[in-house]
């Protein structure tokens, strides 16, 4: 099970990049992930043949099960992280998806 967060193209790229760095620190703090561990990936999207994509960046974090993901997502710490994701996303609210590899 994967938690996927898609961030729209920011209206202020420098501000987003600066705030995203602090956002990741908040994620580590609120979930207890050690600072030197990255159990997630971050993908920045590049311009393709059809121009700039609607999303700037994708955050993906795997979980062992849907139950484990739901447990983390319902925690007060993760609720704070989710609110912060909305705050830093200058191009509009991020899109949250839950996916399963097949």
The domain made up of 2-99 has a fold known as Alpha-Beta Plaits (3.30.70)
Please report the pLDDT score of residue 79 as a whole number: 95
Domain residue limits, the chain? 2-99
Q: Tens digits of per-residue pLDDT, 46-66?
A: 999 999 999 999 999 999 999
Quick check: pTM over 0.85? yes
Please report the pLDDT score of residue 102 as a whole number: 86
- Are 49 and 2 in contact, with CB atoms under 8 Å apart? no
Longest dimension (CA), the chain: 42
Low-confidence ranges of the chain (pLDDT < 70): none
Task: Map tokens 């993901």 to a residue.
Answer: 69
């Amino acid at each position: 099970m994967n938690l996927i967060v898609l961030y729209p193209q920011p209206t202020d790229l420098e501000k987003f990049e600066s705030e995203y760095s602090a956002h990741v620190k908040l994620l580590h703090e609120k979930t207890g992930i050690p600072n030197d561990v990255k159990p997630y990936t971050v993908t920045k999207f590049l311009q393709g043949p059809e121009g700039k994509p609607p999303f700037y960046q994708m955050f993906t974090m795997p979980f062992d099960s849907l139950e484990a993901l739901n447990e983390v997502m319902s925690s007060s710490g993760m609720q704070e992280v989710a609110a912060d994701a909305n705050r830093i996303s200058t191009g509009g609210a991020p899109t949250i998806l839950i996916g399963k590899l097949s």
